[in-house]
Structures are given as C-alpha cells and as structure tokens.
Amino acid sequence: MRKKSDAGYEPEVELAKGARFTAASYDKTQKIAITAGKVTVGGKPGIAEISGLAAGKQDMSIDGTIILWLSIFRYKRPDGTTDHVAGWNISSPLKPKQTPIETARAFAAHINAGTRPYKAGAAGNRTKATITIVFTKK
C-alpha cells in the first residue's frame, strides 16, 4: 500500500527502518536465539542461531515447533510514497533428531518461495546453524 507524502525524504532515516525479527522455540532440545533483531530497508540482515537436535513434533500442539516473526513496518520511498510492509509469522514443525542446518534450510526455503519482500540464507552444520534474512524491495 502506497500513500503520497509531501514531507522530505531522509535516506539515513528511511533506510534504518525495518521489521523487528523475533523467534521462539517450542521444542525441548532445539533452541533458537536472535543475534541481529532487525531486518532493515537499507540491507541490514536479521540473523538467528539455531542449536541442538530437535525432539520433534509429537502431537497437534505447538510443542516441537520453532516460530519466526517479522513485524509490520512503514518506510518512505525516495519518490515520497510510503510503503506498508506486512508482518509475517512463520512456523516450522520439527522432525525428531532434525539438525539445526536442516531447520535453517527449511525456513530459508519457505521464505525464498514466498511472495513477501524477504530472502533468506542458511549456513552451518549438524550442531549449530544460522538463518539470515534480508529485505529485498527498495
């Protein structure tokens, strides 16, 4: 959604705006920690670190899942229009003994396949992995 504004465009202010990046693990043994909690219009990535083998989803409850959240935000474009970026809640059910890199790759694949203005990458190994999310629309 774009709305025209007559106020001046300040690049340093607008490029610092972005989505707050938060996460939670509802798995007994696989954990997630946010190491960079804001995904900015100017290209600063949000980063989360995943560790531990997953106990996995055993029933229909939230147990055995990891959830990522990107908040809604607005920013002004150089042409004076204001863009509204919707929030995103991404849930991933875990399989028993799923490794951190498998979890990170699953989140990255979901984000990259989506229509939202974000791209993600996964890196790491069987004991520790990171997921990096960047804003891709300017």
Longest dimension (CA), the chain: 55
Looking at the structure of the chain, the number of domains it has is: 1
Whether 91 and 60 have beta carbons less than 8 Å apart is answered as: no
Whether 2 and 75 have beta carbons less than 8 Å apart is answered as: no
pTM, to two decimals: 0.91
Residue 2, pLDDT score: 56
Render pLDDT for 64-101 as a digit per residue (tens, 0 to 9). Answer: 999 999 999 999 999 989 999 999 999 999 999 999 99
CA distance 67 to 92: 6
Q: Which residues contact 98 (CB under 8 A, 6 or more apart)?
A: 30, 53, 54, 56
Whole domain around residue 26: which residue ranges?
2-135
Q: Residues of the chain with pLDDT > 90: what percent?
A: 88
